[in-house]
Amino acid sequence: MRLRLSKTSIPKAHNKKTSDSLRMKRNKPCKNLTYGKIAKSGRNNRGIITSRHRGGAHKRVYREIDFRRDNLNVAGRVASIEYDPNRNTYICLINYIDGERRYILHPRGLNIGETIMSGPDALISTGNALPLTKMPLGTIIHNVELKPERGGQLVRAAGTIAKIVAKEGQLATIRLPSTEIRLIPRNCLASIGRVGNTDINNKGFKKAGSKRWLGKRPKVRGSAMNPVDHPHGGGEGRTPIGRKKPLTPWGHVTLGRGSQQKRCVNPLILRRRKES
């Protein structure tokens, strides 16, 4: 996908970056593969806000994505490449020869009209899903399963890739996008290729309303609040927080103290991701 830079004098569209992809389908999705999605707005089952600064997003319809890729040894044709408001990558509508229709994540380089297949006998080609034991070392993969027949849980964001580093016994060593290296059973399925829409991070927000459409509400500094609302609040004018360490709105120490006191030991993780 390429980004097209708009040259206009309108403030809200000045230097706006838009997609230059003409293959993406903009009409309504397949009705049999969609269902309604209720907006939670960061609240739990009791209506209490547990994740702040959320709410007010545009109404969405959830597209059911085939993360399992369990329609084995049946060829399918890419009917369309569509926009999905529930994720930052595009999705493909696949028409299988047995009459079934499913949505999958769009791999980079997969075009309309091409054929894909899932199963141990599929070719090493972009969009196909195979067990890790059937893939050579160094293969670029995405939508990786953690346990067989559970469905892909790893490497599903736009532009992400994982790589097969080694195989030994019944386990395969995978390098994830977070630089974490872990072991996964060799009979787990994974899709070949890189997730599409790689330029999504280069597309900026040119006005405040663009983030409000996504359900992201404004965030306010604690030093700009009243003492009743935040430990950093109060005072005349701009003042320092007046403490040795900054605190959260609920009085807990932050910026220097880890929130996870005891790290769980997982023998399948060979090297954890780098701490930012």
126-158 residue pLDDT tens: 999 999 999 999 999 999 999 999 999 999 999
Split into its structural domains, the chain has a count of 1
The answer to the question of residue 234 being in a domain is no
Indicate the SS3 state at residue 216: strand
Ordered strands of the 269-271 beta sheet? 129-131, 189-192, 140-142, 162-168, 171-175, 181-185, 269-271
CA–CA gap between residue 81 and residue 91 (Å, rounded): 6
pLDDT (0 to 100) of residue 243:
84
212-235 residue pLDDT tens: 999 999 999 999 999 999 999 999
* CATH value at residue 93: 2.40.50.140
The answer to the question of residue 243 being in a domain is no
The answer to the question of residue 265 being in a domain is no
pLDDT at 22 over 50: no
The answer to the question of residue 240 being in a domain is no
The answer to the question of residue 120 being in a domain is yes
Cβ atoms of residues 34 and 93 within 8 Å: no
Domain holding 193, by residue range, is 3-201
The answer to the question of residue 267 being in a domain is no
């075009």: which residue's tokens?
Answer: 111
The answer to the question of residue 250 being in a domain is no
pLDDT (0 to 100) of residue 258:
64
Tokens of 31: 């009705």
pLDDT at 201 over 90: no
What value does the mean pLDDT of the chain take? Answer: 90
The answer to the question of residue 57 being in a domain is yes
